[in-house]
Structure 1
Amino acid sequence: MRSPLPIRDGVNATRLRLPESGPWPTVLAYVQQRFAHLDPEDLRSRFDRHEVVGRTGEPLSAGTPLGDHDFIWYYRDLPAETRIPVEVDVLHRDAHLLVADKPHFLPTTPGGRYVVESALVRLRVALDLPSLVPIHRLDRATAGVLLFSVDPSTRGAYQRLFERREVRKEYHAIAPFDPDLRLPVTVRSRLVSSRTHLRVREEPGAANAETRVELVERRGEHALYRLRPRTGKMHQLRAHLGSLGIGIVGDRLYPNLLPEEPDDLRHPLRLLAHRISFTDPLTGRPRDFTTRRRLAPPRSSPDSR
């Protein structure tokens, strides 16, 4: 469902579904109860300023009856955010595609306590590209190659590449070296995520996640691994290496859940989206993008397990 409000300051308007009926005589009355933690007069002023609209962009007033609209859109107040001291770089840009080199600790899209401090909003504002949309995602803890669509009319063609698994992805990771682990190996398992848990879990049943794990080189007690995922499940690479007993350096979720701590830019998760390649659906030509980032060697810290 397309928002009738334009993107403002790099951030999409927020959509809210309204009940068809209820004890609230107006949309405003419902909104004031739904967001009881906010100043009710400030909410009213948004209606008075015509900042709350329906499906076709028509402004709602303070007296608009509940039931006249099924959805509304509005701009939320952006939280004050401390800048994450990392930079997102651009590897490639054309009329249809933008390829970014995302740093560790920066989210791909707004969510939770990070809105402005996301790769998407930073790039939209810095490059004046309000229509920019990510074609896939990287975890906040993961760095590397990240693809964005510039032109909405061709966005679907690139998204379908991922849906049809026609994108070849290569990741690098630093993890403990296990001389008894026979590599290369293809890990297949059933990964299940939950809205109430931070981690995914492996369950019995048909596999829905597949990762090829290869040893690149040994580095003392650790090693550099090449990971080639065939699927793109949440935390797939982290969970699969954890299941092999070689959890990625800096991982506080796999194989064991560790207490949450503030970000330490000196000790990122040693996981990097190293390379993405595919056949361009518009030109039929091969495309290949590689990160300029490198994984720092483990340092003596509690994270360097």
Structure 2
Amino acid sequence: MFSSVLAKQASYVVLPENVTDKPTVLSFLVEHFGQIGADVWEARVSDGKVHWQDGTLIELDTLYRPRVRVYYYREVASEPNVPFDEKIIYTDERIIVAFKPHFLALHPSGNVINECLVNRLRAKLGIETIVPAHRLDRATAGLILLCLYPEHRQQYHDLFKHGLICKEYQALAKLTPELLANNKSGQLALPLHWTVKNRIVKGEPSFTMKVIEGEANTHSEISLIEVRGEVGVFNLSPITGRTHQLRVHMQSLGMPILNDKCYPQLQAKAQDDYNKPLRLLARRLHFTDPISGKLIDLECEAICS
């Protein structure tokens, strides 16, 4: 399942103009990427894994040149192979809407290099410039909008920033005892709707979020649309777009999403259990293309039980 991995796509850094105390490219890389040992950079340079934009290799003594791109290949000792496939739902001359499976990261980070949606799509389509227009958690499956070329990203990102795109999610969660009792007695009328507004800030550890007192900075519309035994099927519309917003809002209703490893309680770090994905799906994207003016309305299949 694991092997030594070298990135298939090169990363790059632009050498800053204001750096005057680094005589060589190597000396800059060692200081700029302080979390990577000098011996690692020396080995990468010696192995021909660092080069200029035209492909010319950088040597151990290559002089520093400001305002020039240096290309390198990220490398990790191991990388998990996510055994689920992405799907291209829609594409045109500027964008892709793809289905990202559970457990697949959106872009490279940490020990993830090639096993992410962006690099899978770059390899599949032969387009190295693909960039995402918004975020989607690694744990969450569903539709993601990406741009073929970086120069278009801001226009599509602004759809999310200014609330000009309709995003709809679906989730499964165990119902509260009160809702279960009402359903059993025949007194639960569907759909049942909640408007959730509260203030969310970073928790501890910092990749989690928590609700505190204060002016609301988040807003979600949540509806219970179906009951399957003790589990409810929910439609969720995030009006704002904070990290983990829907997961925190479901927890605040007393119904955390099934298989959530962060809420209500952070679980110990462990290898992914592919049989227990987070039951949260980004199901629909509905927007007017800011460049072509075309109305785009896309859905993926509903979440399973």
TM-score, length-scaled by structure 2: 0.81
AA in 2 matched with 1:104: H
Any residues of structure 2 matched to 1:229-248 within 5 Å, and which? 229-248=238-257
SS in 2 for 1:38: helix
SS in 1 for 2:127: coil
1:136 paired residue among 129, 134, 137: 134
Q: Which moved more, 1:35-44 or 1:161-170?
A: 35-44
Hey, what's the Cα distance between the residues in 1 that align with 2:154 and 2:282? Answer: 22
Contact 1:109–1:120 under 8 Å retained in 2: yes
Contact 1:192–1:202 under 8 Å retained in 2: yes
Hey, what's the Cα distance between the residues in 2 that align with 1:251 and 1:134? Answer: 24
Structure 2 residues not aligned, in runs of 5+: 1-5, 180-187
- What corresponds to 2:272 in structure 1? 263
1:259 to 1:92, Cα distance in 2 relative to 1, 3 A: same
1:128-160 deviations in Å (ceiling 9; x for gaps): 121211111210110011111124443332222
AA in 2 matched with 1:167: I
Hey, what's the Cα distance between the residues in 1 that align with 2:172 and 2:92? Answer: 33
Hey, what's the Cα distance between the residues in 1 that align with 2:62 and 2:38? Answer: 22
Pairwise CA distance, 1:178: 2.3
Any residues of structure 2 matched to 1:1-305 within 5 Å, and which? 11-15=9-13, 20=19, 26-32=24-30, 34=34, 35-36=36-37, 38-39=39-40, 41-45=42-46, 51-53=50-52, 62-63=60-61, 69=66, 73-79=70-76, 80-178=78-176, 180=178, 183-193=192-202, 197-292=206-301, 294-297=302-305
Q: Which moved more, 1:274-283 or 1:120-129?
A: 274-283
1:134 to 1:12, Cα distance in 2 relative to 1, 3 A: farther
Pairwise CA distance, 1:83: 1.8
Root mean square deviation of aligned Cα: 3.1
Pairwise CA distance, 1:112: 1.4
Structure 1 residues not aligned, in runs of 5+: 1-7, 298-305
- What corresponds to 1:303 in structure 2? none
Aligned residues: 284
Pairwise CA distance, 1:179: 5.7
1:84-115 deviations in Å (ceiling 9; x for gaps): 11000111111112110111111111111111
Contact 1:32–1:43 under 8 Å retained in 2: no
TM-score, length-scaled by structure 1: 0.81
Hey, what's the Cα distance between the residues in 2 that align with 1:73 and 1:155? Answer: 23
1:21 to 1:276, Cα distance in 2 relative to 1, 3 A: same
